[in-house]
Structure 1
Amino acid sequence: MSIITTSRPLDAPPRSVGFAATLARFNDAPAIVTETETISYRQLAQRMEAVADRLGTERRLVLLSATNDVDCLVAYLAALSGGHPVILVPGDKPSAPEAIRAAFDPDVILAAGDGNGRPHIREIRPISAHDLHPDLALLLSTSGSTGSPKLVRLSHQNLEANAASIAEYLRISSQDRAVTTLPLSYCYGLSVINSHLLTGASVVLTDLSVVDPCFWELFRSTEATTFAAVPYTFDLLERVGFADMELPHLRYVTQAGGRLAPEQVRRYAELGRRRGWDLFVMYGQTEATARMAYLPPGLAAEQPARIGVPVPGGAFRIDPVDGLDDGELVYTGPNVMLGYAEKPEDLGSGRTVHELRTGDLARRHADGLYEVVGRRSRFVKIAGLRVDLGRVEQILADFGVQAVCAGTDERLVVAVQGDHDPGLLRKVLAPELGMPRGALHMYAVDQIPRLSNGKPDYQAVLVLGEPDPVPRDVAGRAEGPQDVRTILAEQLEIPAVGDDSTFVSLGGDSLSYVATSVRLEKALGALPPDWHLRSVAELEAGASVRRRRRRFVAPVETSIVLRAVAIILIISTHIGLFHWEGTAHVLMAAAGYNFARFQLQGERVQRLRRQMTSIGRIVLPSMALIAVGYVITDHYSIANIFLLNAILGPQEVTPEWHFWFVEVLVYLLVFAVALLAIPQVSQLERRFPFGFPLGLAALGLLTRFNIVDLDLPNTAPALWLFALGWAVARARTAAHRVLITVVVLACVPGFFFGDLLREMTLLTGMLLLVWLRTLPVPRGLQRITAVLASASLYIYLTHWLVFPHLESMHPGVAVGASLVAGVLYWAVVMRVPGLVRRCTAWRRREAALPLDGAGNRQRPVR
């Protein structure tokens, strides 16, 4: 599809959203009501114009970190009235603005200020760096992505048309007053603002929850007439006794954001009929600005399962879908988005979408009402049987069971809320569906998992059915009394282990070290610091001396704890659960530490072979996974696949930089291996095992302080950390450790240009590595720590591909799913070498069998 770009003539005024630019026409009518003040339309327009003046007349891309307060609302309206395209991100997710900024490079950043309608304005540049299409007004995420967001491009016409359509069928007048129950950054919550300001109605601005008594006090005192609800809101209303509340000014309640169970629709429609208010069930998507259909209140009690009729100005049709009785619902109307934006270049595109394929399966009834009966994406095929997850939920609902289903082509997972017997339900449901009982997993939960917007958290449900990545031991093997030989053979996937073998001589490296050390410590007790260099005989001989009584905490090697903690902090920061940077650079030092421990033993040729094998264990899984990312997304390039983005890629930060850590780590390892392959350098390292890495650190510090440029793109600034970790592994005396400490204290401050948290994180991690061999970890977390440390590289790789697909979920769920995915990938990769060896051995045995007269291999009779 071609990209259409249009430039605005220099003398033409920027387009703006009409209702935002003409607020003053409602004069002194109340526009915004808060707990402390009432702001008229005239006052709102004045505050908005003041901010618009600061933004200027030159169109720029504005990023607004939005919360439900006056500052953010004024900033939003000012940008719309001035013709500046606005990216709305949730203000309660600290990493969201940074993630969007990295992806789209806004010209101006707005956020809440002093609370008096004066938002904080951070100007990045006076003139836009982007080609902004003249129709572009607003950009919204369909589900709150904080990683690699896919934004919906909405035009001025989209906003005006949808606000007018909603105001028409809800009959919004200047006497209406809506309370904000949803975030401003959520399209449903934003549509409430737009439709009310369009008509001169009032908005009660608050971030209180409906379960807070203060919310209802505010509702009554401000004489509010309406509020918006998602399905989960109705569950909350049940808890607070909404049915018995006296709300004399309530005129109607709107519902969208997901399907509300028909029995709840009927119950609340009848409640409203008794109490004198209406229930409007609505249907929409961000791609349609907000709303596409509504169910007339008079029909809600009789037809509670239907979405109703198209909104004014819109139209539906149903396109057939192969293999299904029901077709896909397609919507057309002036509120259909311009298209998506996945990169800054898309901001200059004109309309690339003319109708919205909703992805919903629907049917039109004889009375003209439409009904959504499922999602095309909510079908799974298990044992050759096509299963409609929505139908499964409906079957259980008919039994009086509230449930949410998720599934893959291997299993169906059902979360059942309340005190139900999952086993009994499973026996009833499996025959009803005609599917194998073994593929049906049912779990009783106290509450259905939900996202922050109240929608079911399907990924969290799916995780309930995930097999435990370490069901028995850290390698997935049965626990029990095992000797050193068995543990080493299983962990390193080798057939035999001799008395003189050591972990290093058998090819062990940092990837397999963690799991092996934990299993050995469980079998033998506390291990000596150099256990990886000791023979099997030595380890077994000292086992009885090292055994100790079980305690509440267990000493775990510092580098293992650092790796586990770091990977959690790294992906949590990327996903937006919280913000804590600096641990990636701690891992650079830990990489140097492990390189010195595992890759510098043995003769030169043997050592080089082991070093190349170790690098291959990083490079090959990384290339394989990035290649998958290249195929299924448009975020990566061929340079990413071959780990060359740091050399060939763009200088600006884009999604192509997601794998910078792996690239830099590989560059450092290749540099160190190539350097030591030179016989004279190898001899120098053996002669000065502590001084050699300090010399490398000094070389790296020349680039750290910009004294020289070694022309090693993005690698040299990390060389000093890698080398210092190497030196820690070679430190033998307190004086050595003091010297490293002095270097760390002198060189870390200022490394992140004054970012105190990052620098303190790096400093703390380095000092822990220098001075503490182990850290105490609760025994219940020892195994989890080991697994996360072992899988840390794979978690880092996979999380970029996992969490963008969980955008609508709570960041904690996305973090958990990313950890699970990385652990599973680690488990698969760790078994590949053993599988290859077994296949090779089988082929050799086959080749050694004698041939019979027909040319077939003669196998011995057993």
Structure 2
Amino acid sequence: MSLSFIADLAKWRDRPALVFCGQRTVTYRELGERVARQALAFRGPRGLVTIEAELCEHAIIAYLAALQAGHAVAMQAPRNGSAGSWVDVFAPDQAFRRIDGRWRTEHLRQDGRAPHDELAVMLSTSGSTGCGKAVRLSRENISANAASIAGYLGLTAEDRGCHILPLHYSYGLSVLNSHLAVGASLYIPGGSILDPGFLDGLAESGSTNLAGVPYSYELLEKVGFRERRFANLRFMTVAGGRLSPEVIRLYSDHLTAQGADFFAMYGQTEATARIAYVPPALLAGNEDRIGVAIPGGRLLIENESGAPIEGDGVPGELVYRGPNVMMGYATSRDDLCRGAELKELRTGDLAMRHADGLFQIVGRMKRISKIAGLRIAHDGLEAALERRGIAAAVVGDDAGLHAFFAGGRDAEEIRRFLAQASGLTLAHLKATPLAEMPRLATGKIDYNALNMAARQAAANGDDGNGGIEDLFAQVFYPKRVKRSDSFLSLGGDSLRFVQLSIGLEKALGQVPDAWETLSITELSAQERRETGTRRIGTDLLIRALAILLVVLHHEVLWPIPGGSAAMVVLAGFSLARFQMGPLLAGDARAILRPLVQILVPYYMIVAAYAAAWGEVPWASVFLVGNFGLALPETHDMVPYLYWFIEAYWQMMLVFVGLFAIPQFRRFVSAKPFAAGMALLVAALAARLALPLVWPIGNRQIFTLPWIFYLAVIGWCAAVAETTRQRLLLMLSGTGAFLFFGLYEGVWIGTKIKYLLQIAVLAALLYLPRVSMPRWAAQFILPLSAAGFHIYILHRFVPELLILPLQPILPPAAFSLLSIFGGVAVGLVAWLGQRQLLKTLAAWRARETRPLRLFGSAVLRSPLRPL
């Protein structure tokens, strides 16, 4: 079932097949033998094999071997890119990838339906790194396109192509296929065009041709390609996007002077690789055209009704027919069993045919905006700017257009040019400068990233330089964030969750459910939704009410405790909800690192007390003041108020210690709820045994054994998934709270405290989100976010800031001022910290924004595969 050119590898014998930097060579004989050996590793019935398509001999051999073994092959972008995995989407039977630095074959499954007999290769559309949709290519598609390309390029066994394009990209794969089909060789430099020695290596390799995308030619200009002479070079090709007519003319003239040719080509992954090309003899004066159909193919122009347009110069959708048209798309494993579903490819490009028979792309069907009655092609505006020497990418919709441009031009100047070219007013136009355009691994401009940035800029009322990525960068400072990151992947905790909820509400209106699992890219793509109500997590409401209860109780000493206990429950709940991944990985640093934002303010307060007392409260310095070993009166520890910080720190250490045990991690991973309930039994036993083995009187309420079971109950609430699990936890928690409140409690406040936790537990289990008026949410969320700051600072108001007013104010007025002032001071501190992080993040962004605006590794360094 393998392709003919793979079966014929051995016939080329000792001719070179692959040549690497340093002139190391793999002959066709050796290539055939290695492919045969690797094919044995892909044992088993016909299935799907995913290959991590790094541009190296291992991936090339695996690709050929999997096809020779009769499998369908999914070419997956290398993992050091931003690619998502196809494992969950297409359930491959085998995978070939790097594991711990070595290439290995993994046997994943053998119970899926076999792919259709004709299916040979799956590629992401347009060479993108997304994993949601793939193009299904048949053996006939691959063979026909390879033969067609070799035919119009005149490839022979004497040729050697310089291969710099990604293998998971249809253009890059077609270079490999077309050369192997005729016994030609490929030189693989294994680096970037910008790498020192690239041009020297190209000259020494004896390459006769070089295939590139438009970005490749930008890099070639940077390294002075046209200043060198390459004696063996007989042609160059470009595809994968629009190269400006000026650059095409520049290289065509340069190559013609050297006795070589330049091929401007057009293609789509859906047509395996190539659709059209301009014969070099016709290129002069036609640099803006895609040319004629490749051998064996046919191009047509159709109107919106699907009827052929026979006249020249009339635009319509470009339609292609040929043996290289894909079988169809695939979005699931079941799709791989389907046969060919297409006889023609509707390209989505707006094109017209000229009288000389050459075709020209004039726009993209989906890249047209209708604004103020005008139909405006984005590509046309890009061309207009290009004629003024401005490299720009234009995106937009029917509300307006946004140009992202490179260079030192003024944004207002760009907007004026756009207005002249489009006939629109400045109100419809925005422009944003970039140090470098975001690009896919193929070198194409990443229009998806630009569209997301434009939408976010519109949502925030700016020019595209702020947005959700900045919000994440601010909240997670000093950690660097990428657009592929999510709240969970960054190791977010409960405090950051609330802060981000506030920022996302401002940016998106209605925050999507489970937003913490969405990447920055996915959040940026969300449409803004304005509603009169706001759905927030019940835990956020509980957190806000709990801190208000703490402040109220500390001031009036009414029998209404329970706020601190609720906060302990929430601590366990948040730990399981947000940081389960690092815990199961045994990553102690990821769990303890967020505590810095709690411990730094705490130690500032400890230092303030030490300065005021003239003595160091060592018990508090070592976070053991709640153990009953010291007294605030003797200045050995800070006031009892800060017991919560010490207990929280100790709680995190216990969790980290437990998850440092591999057996415990495996238990939690396999049965999270059962593990939580087992831990709850142990925690309740510690709570009951504490007064017997550690008789320290009332100070025992500040110790970790006294409260740890509350955190475990919160943990269990987060991992309880079934109705049975929730009911079991509700009954267990209610029983414990009733016992401690009614049987053991001797004060009405104790009863209220534990009965209140029953309501907290019920809300977490059965009411995960609550709806409320937007104004109420705008009050609750800042309180929840500032809860920690309010907790540690609220008593400074009555005991320090307004203490001189106590003699002259009525007790009720003093208490009200203490309560509201304590809350206000905490909110101000939280806002100050937020502003500081925003300033620091913005300062760093000014240094790195062009490198990280769209989260692409391409922006940090030159395009690696090129």
TM > 0.5 fold call: yes
Q: How far apart are residue 337 of structure 1 and its match? A: 0.6
What is the root-mean-square deviation of aligned Cα atoms in Å? Answer: 5.2
1:99 lines up with 2:85 in the alignment = yes
Alignment partners' CA distance in 2, 1:593 and 1:460 = 25
Alignment partners' CA distance in 2, 1:361 and 1:373 = 6
Q: How far apart are residue 702 of structure 1 and its match? A: 12
Q: Please tell me whether Structure 1 or Structure 2 has the larger radius of gyration of its CA atoms.
A: 2
Alignment partners' CA distance in 1, 2:236 and 2:74 = 28
1:384–1:21: structure 2 CA closer, same or farther, 3 Å change rule?
same
Q: How far apart are residue 363 of structure 1 and its match? A: 1.2
Q: How far apart are residue 19 of structure 1 and its match? A: 1.5
Q: How far apart are residue 434 of structure 1 and its match? A: 1.9
Range that drifts further, 106-115 or 433-442: 106-115
Alignment of 1:105-116 (within 5 A): 105-112=91-98
1:318–1:460: structure 2 CA closer, same or farther, 3 Å change rule?
same
Q: Which amino acid in the other structure matches residue 151 of structure 2?
A: E
* From 71, 74, 89, the counterpart of 2:76: 89
1:190 lines up with 2:173 in the alignment = yes
Q: Give the unaligned 5+ runs of structure 2.
A: 307-312, 527-533, 547-558, 581-590, 603-640, 670-714, 716-786, 793-828, 843-849, 858-866
Alignment partners' CA distance in 1, 2:100 and 2:6 = 22
* From 361, 366, 390, the counterpart of 2:355: 366
Alignment of 1:423-442 (within 5 A): 423-424=412-413, 426-427=415-416, 429-442=418-431
Alignment partners' CA distance in 1, 2:4 and 2:851 = 35
Q: How far apart are residue 230 of structure 1 and its match? A: 1.0
1:97-128 CA distance string (max 9 Å, x none): x632222222212125899xx83212223x24
1:325–1:784: structure 2 CA closer, same or farther, 3 Å change rule?
farther
Q: Which amino acid in the other structure matches residue 45 of structure 2?
A: E
Q: How far apart are residue 427 of structure 1 and its match? A: 3.9
Q: Which amino acid in the other structure matches residue 243 of structure 2?
A: L
1:69 lines up with 2:56 in the alignment = yes
Alignment of 1:810-829 (within 5 A): 813=854
1:696–1:455: structure 2 CA closer, same or farther, 3 Å change rule?
closer
Identify the residue that residue 385 of structure 2 maps to in structure 1: 396
| Paired residues of 1:252 and 1:278 also in contact (CA < 8 A) | yes
Q: How far apart are residue 140 of structure 1 and its match? A: 0.6
Q: Which amino acid in the other structure matches residue 42 of structure 2?
A: L
1:268 lines up with 2:158 in the alignment = no
Alignment partners' CA distance in 2, 1:692 and 1:780 = 30
Range that drifts further, 450-459 or 215-224: 450-459
1:102–1:220: structure 2 CA closer, same or farther, 3 Å change rule?
same
* From 27, 30, 45, the counterpart of 1:58: 45
Identity, % of aligned positions: 35
* From 835, 838, 843, the counterpart of 1:782: 838
1:243 lines up with 2:226 in the alignment = yes
Alignment of 1:779-858 (within 5 A): 781-782=837-838, 813=854
1:164–1:566: structure 2 CA closer, same or farther, 3 Å change rule?
farther
* From 233, 237, 260, the counterpart of 1:277: 260
Alignment partners' CA distance in 1, 2:34 and 2:285 = 47
SS at match of 2:854: helix
Identify the residue that residue 306 of structure 1 maps to in structure 2: 289
Identify the residue that residue 203 of structure 2 maps to in structure 1: 220
Q: How far apart are residue 317 of structure 1 and its match? A: 1.1
Q: How far apart are residue 65 of structure 1 and its match? A: 1.0
1:307–1:85: structure 2 CA closer, same or farther, 3 Å change rule?
same
1:420-471 CA distance string (max 9 Å, x none): 4554554455244322133233455555554442223435555379648667
Alignment partners' CA distance in 2, 1:744 and 1:471 = 44
Alignment partners' CA distance in 1, 2:363 and 2:473 = 46
Q: How far apart are residue 251 of structure 1 and its match? A: 1.0
Alignment partners' CA distance in 1, 2:362 and 2:249 = 18
Q: Which amino acid in the other structure matches residue 152 of structure 1?
A: V
Identify the residue that residue 488 of structure 1 maps to in structure 2: none
1:350 lines up with 2:356 in the alignment = no
Identify the residue that residue 587 of structure 1 maps to in structure 2: 493
| Paired residues of 1:154 and 1:338 also in contact (CA < 8 A) | yes
Q: Which amino acid in the other structure matches residue 64 of structure 1?
A: I
1:175 lines up with 2:161 in the alignment = no
Alignment of 1:586-735 (within 5 A): 586-587=492-493, 621-622=511-512, 732-733=643-644
Q: Which amino acid in the other structure matches residue 239 of structure 2?
A: A
| Paired residues of 2:539 and 2:570 also in contact (CA < 8 A) | no
Identify the residue that residue 339 of structure 1 maps to in structure 2: 328
* From 238, 242, 259, the counterpart of 1:259: 242
1:477-529 CA distance string (max 9 Å, x none): xxxxxxxxxxxxxxxxxxxxxxxxxxxxxxxxxxxxx99xxxxxxxxxxxxxx
Q: How far apart are residue 666 of structure 1 and its match? A: 5.3
1:800-836 CA distance string (max 9 Å, x none): xxxxxxxxx99961689xxxxxxxxxxxxxxxxxxxx
Alignment partners' CA distance in 2, 1:164 and 1:588 = 59
Identify the residue that residue 116 of structure 2 maps to in structure 1: 133
Q: Give the unaligned 5+ runs of structure 1.
A: 1-14, 477-513, 516-559, 575-579, 599-614, 637-661, 676-684, 707-719, 757-765, 787-808, 817-862
| Paired residues of 2:127 and 2:269 also in contact (CA < 8 A) | no
1:747–1:364: structure 2 CA closer, same or farther, 3 Å change rule?
same
Range that drifts further, 687-696 or 98-107: 687-696
1:191-230 CA distance string (max 9 Å, x none): 1000001110001123222233422222222211111111
Identify the residue that residue 229 of structure 1 maps to in structure 2: 212
Alignment partners' CA distance in 1, 2:363 and 2:570 = 62
1:688–1:561: structure 2 CA closer, same or farther, 3 Å change rule?
farther
Alignment partners' CA distance in 2, 1:754 and 1:192 = 50
Q: Which amino acid in the other structure matches residue 587 of structure 1?
A: D
Alignment partners' CA distance in 1, 2:571 and 2:351 = 65
1:748 lines up with 2:659 in the alignment = yes
Identify the residue that residue 120 of structure 1 maps to in structure 2: 104
1:657-688 CA distance string (max 9 Å, x none): xxxxx99x95978999999xxxxxxxxx9656
1:573–1:121: structure 2 CA closer, same or farther, 3 Å change rule?
farther
Alignment partners' CA distance in 1, 2:317 and 2:123 = 24
| Paired residues of 1:89 and 1:144 also in contact (CA < 8 A) | no
Alignment partners' CA distance in 2, 1:28 and 1:322 = 55
Identify the residue that residue 736 of structure 1 maps to in structure 2: 647
Identify the residue that residue 408 of structure 1 maps to in structure 2: 397
Identify the residue that residue 28 of structure 2 maps to in structure 1: 41
Identify the residue that residue 721 of structure 2 maps to in structure 1: none
Q: Which amino acid in the other structure matches residue 107 of structure 1?
A: D
1:17 lines up with 2:9 in the alignment = no
Alignment partners' CA distance in 1, 2:426 and 2:173 = 45
SS at match of 1:119: strand
| Paired residues of 1:731 and 1:737 also in contact (CA < 8 A) | no
Identify the residue that residue 572 of structure 1 maps to in structure 2: 484
Alignment partners' CA distance in 1, 2:82 and 2:363 = 34
| Paired residues of 1:66 and 1:112 also in contact (CA < 8 A) | no
SS at match of 2:289: coil
1:456 lines up with 2:445 in the alignment = yes
| Paired residues of 1:69 and 1:206 also in contact (CA < 8 A) | no
Q: Which amino acid in the other structure matches residue 512 of structure 2?
A: S
1:206 lines up with 2:203 in the alignment = no
| Paired residues of 1:285 and 1:291 also in contact (CA < 8 A) | yes
1:67–1:368: structure 2 CA closer, same or farther, 3 Å change rule?
same
| Paired residues of 1:570 and 1:583 also in contact (CA < 8 A) | no
Q: Which amino acid in the other structure matches residue 651 of structure 2?
A: I
Q: How far apart are residue 58 of structure 1 and its match? A: 1.3
1:326 lines up with 2:315 in the alignment = yes
| Paired residues of 1:71 and 1:112 also in contact (CA < 8 A) | no
SS at match of 2:172: helix
SS at match of 2:26: strand
Alignment partners' CA distance in 2, 1:470 and 1:222 = 52
